[in-house]
Structure 1
């Protein structure tokens, strides 16, 4: 969980509450990774 400092602006609430924000950000990063991989595979 060392990457949680990236979500400081989102998870201002006490620990355990910002699960939604961290989940959304993780999903966003996953979608970005998939998009990048698709572009690399196509070219």
Structure 2
């Protein structure tokens, strides 16, 4: 079974090298969580 961790925006930015606006663009394009969702599964 895969292990998942919930990580917050600063960790997402550090792991991906993407800007906040780029991350939110990806969320808007492919997720129903929207801008108010504060963490991601990794």
Report which structure shows greater RCO (CA 8 Å, sep ≥6): 2
Select the structure that is richer in helix.
1
Select the structure that is richer in strand.
2
Length-normalised TM-score, structure 1: 0.32
Length-normalised TM-score, structure 2: 0.32
In our comparison, the structure showing a higher alpha carbon Rg is 1
